[in-house]
Structure 1
Amino acid sequence: MSYDPSNIFGKILRGEIPAHKVYEDDVALVMMDLFPQSRGHTLIVPKAPSRNLLDADPATLTAVIPLVQNVAKAVKAATSADGIRVVQFNETPAGQTVFHLHFHIIPVYEGVPLGVHGGGKAEDGELAMLARDIAAAL
């Protein structure tokens, strides 16, 4: 399958849909997941068009992985999480629901189970606060 620029992340990158932005540069947009698996669940969305890891330009991956690491550190610091899960899905059978390459940074808290991927929507006020806190930790 080929990349379809009408996906929701493509629309967010073009400014057609708002997002709780944490950070943005010429490589990627970092934003809060609207349907978080845990408090502080953050997404890193490369700006280069690709469906997922399988068709991404290796130069894009080289540029974005240091950002994934930095965001993971910032999320851990800002949320006082006990651990961090980094997840990336490729195609529907693997759980991918938005067909634009993106990485999930999911804080893990001791004794607190993760929510379902794509589960309940978080409150905008909490997402805005978390976006500010994570941005400050970057």
Structure 2
Amino acid sequence: MESCTFCSIIADRRPATWVEREEHAVAFAPLPGSALAPGHTLVVPVAHTADLLSADPTSLAACTALARRVGLAMRGALGATGTVLLQASGADAGQSVPHLHFHVVPCWPDDGTTHWPEPPSAHVHEGDPHADLRAMFE
């Protein structure tokens, strides 16, 4: 997609600090100044996919496999003792670029970060939300 920031990076029309390039997924550093931690890396499918809910199985599998390898590299190269995998689908979830992407963020003891949404959602659902979800699979 011509106007997509990540598609432009993948097509080498925009600069990137590459970590890995594979057939169905790539990994690169976020924009300068936006990293959540040293080594924070984005994993993105090569095929333009708006979000997690519209992803094809091949792209999704390639991204999760690459995210795992990036996390292992963070452990080996950076001494990270944990990783957080962040993904937002849709503007209301905070997705800023409409191309599926995963943030792989390395963590260390006492690094001062939290990666869990705070406070919890104020949305109220009438009924049992898990029963309603389960019904969608029946």
User: What TM-score comes out, normalization by structure 1 length?
Assistant: 0.75
1:32: how far off?
A: 1.0
Matched, 1:87 2:75: no
**Counterpart AA for 2:18:** K
- Count of paired positions: 113
1:115: how far off?
A: 8.7
* Distance change (3 Å), C-alpha of 1:89 and 1:5: farther
Question: 1:123 matched to which residue of 2?
Answer: none
Question: 1:96 matched to which residue of 2?
Answer: 95
Higher relative CO (CA 8 A, sep ≥ 6), structure 1 or 2?
1
Question: 2:27 matched to which residue of 1?
Answer: 30
User: What TM-score comes out, normalization by structure 2 length?
Assistant: 0.75
Quote the Cα distance in structure 1 between the aligned partners of 2:71 and 2:2: 27
**Local SS of the residue matching 1:6:** coil
Give RMSD over aligned pairs: 1.8
**Dislocated runs of 4+, deviation >6 Å:** none
- Is the contact between residue 37 and residue 115 of structure 1 (CA under 8 Å) also seen in structure 2? no
Once the two structures are superposed, the pairs formed by residues 1-138 of structure 1 within 5 Å of their partners are 5-34=2-31, 35-114=34-113
Quote the Cα distance in structure 1 between the aligned partners of 2:26 and 2:67: 11
1:111: how far off?
A: 1.5
Work out which of the two has the higher radius of gyration on C-alpha atoms and give 1 or 2: 2
* Distance change (3 Å), C-alpha of 1:91 and 1:5: farther
**Local SS of the residue matching 2:72:** helix
Quote the Cα distance in structure 2 between the aligned partners of 1:59 and 1:97: 23
